[in-house]
Amino acid sequence: MFTRAKHPIKGDEIPRPPKRCNGQLYSVRPTHTLFSIARKFGVTVEEILDANPQIVNRDIIFVGQVICIPTRAPKPICDLRVLTLRFLTEDGQPLPVVGGAVQLNDRVIVRPTFNRPVSRVFFFLEPTGTETCELASLIGIDCPSAVTGVAEILWQVPPGTLGRVFVVACINSCCAKSDEVLVVRNSL
């Protein structure tokens, strides 16, 4: 439970700000709670409490009290990129491209490469005529070796397939999406 900042009453002494602040000093306003302040500055309540040892009860802060809002360390930059997305025959030969669309066989190797090893790769087909990923369907998942930047699935392509294939790869919380590649398999 987070209590709103209260006005000091007789006998209440507003705690002084911390002696050191690795961030910025902020003056508490009426209706603020530690939770609302944390949300405003993109930090957690625990981070504010750690930076403010003068706050002895997390549910009591005072209007006008000066607290330290800690500077959050910048998030690491996600440098994962999809380098290529290739479509190959079962014996590893590139499939032909006609009119900008890869001509698919009934069984196709889909092989993306990445600038570094990944832990999971999700392969999707999005039907043509759609503008969002709402109708995309998962066509495969690979958990590649942790030492390569290559993933691969063998896709059993349904007759009449027409759409855009793309992959999403992740390592930890860093993910990357490939460009979409137009594909077609004519009906038999």
Q: What is the CATH number of the domain that holds 69?
A: 3.10.350.10
Same domain? 66 vs 126: no
Domain span at residue 97 reads: 82-184
Query: What average pLDDT does the chain have?
Result: 89
Angstrom distances, CA of residue 29 to CA of 23, 25, 89: 18, 13, 66
Same domain? 129 vs 151: yes
More confident call, 75 vs 56: 56
The domain that contains 125 carries what CATH number?
2.60.40.10
At which of 37, 54, 74 does a domain end?
74
pLDDT band at 173, cuts 50/70/90?
confident
Same domain? 60 vs 89: no
Number of domains in the chain: 2
118-134 tens-digit pLDDT? 999 999 999 887 666 67
Predicted pLDDT of residue 132: 61
Confidence check: pLDDT of 38 > 80? yes
162 token code pair: 């027409």
Nearest to 76, CA basis, from 161, 157, 156, 174: 174
Tally helices (H) and strands (E) across the chain: 2, 12
Confidence check: pLDDT of 102 > 80? yes
Predicted pLDDT of residue 172: 84
Predicted pLDDT of residue 75: 66
86 token code pair: 């290739």
Confidence check: pLDDT of 86 > 90? yes
Predicted pLDDT of residue 43: 92
Predicted pLDDT of residue 184: 95
Same domain? 87 vs 22: no
Largest CA distance in the chain: 87
Which residue reads 């809002």 in tokens? Answer: 69
Same domain? 91 vs 168: yes
pLDDT band at 11, cuts 50/70/90?
low
More confident call, 72 vs 103: 103
**Residue 51: enclosing H or E segment and its boundaries?**
helix 45-51
At which of 23, 47, 74 does a domain end?
74
Report yes or no on whether pTM surpasses 0.85. no
Nearest to 123, CA basis, from 145, 141, 148, 136: 141
Same domain? 22 vs 59: yes
Cα distance between residue 155 and residue 85, in whole Å? 14
